[in-house]
Amino acid sequence: MDIGKSVILSGIAISISACFAPMAHVPVVGSVTYVLDGRGDGKWVILVAVIAALLALGRYYFGGILPEVIVGGFLCFFAMQFQHANRKSG
């Protein structure tokens, strides 16, 4: 496996595992993940990551990088929304 494919696939693995990692821990509710049992935006991140994996395995490296840039945009947007909600509540 060449270096480009390794980098893309490792980024995809990090993106998918980050969707299931606890993002916040609320005492009453418990841990909140990005997937939220299929109701959150994490399902779109996983879908785009799977598409990127298929493109990377098919040796379309630019096609494998572009979806990961989209995923990064999703994560930045969600982080900004999360911070904005925290500022309003606190």
Residue 10, CA distances (Å) to 16, 51, 52 in order: 10, 14, 11
- The residues facing 32 across adjacent strands are 24
> pTM for the whole thing?
0.63
Spatial CA neighbour of 68 closest among 3, 13, 28, 2: 13
- Predicted confidence pLDDT, tens digits, the chain (90 residues): 688 788 878 888 888 887 777 766 667 666 666 666 656 677 777 888 888 888 888 877 776 677 778 777 877 887 787 777 777 776
CA distance 90 to 69: 32
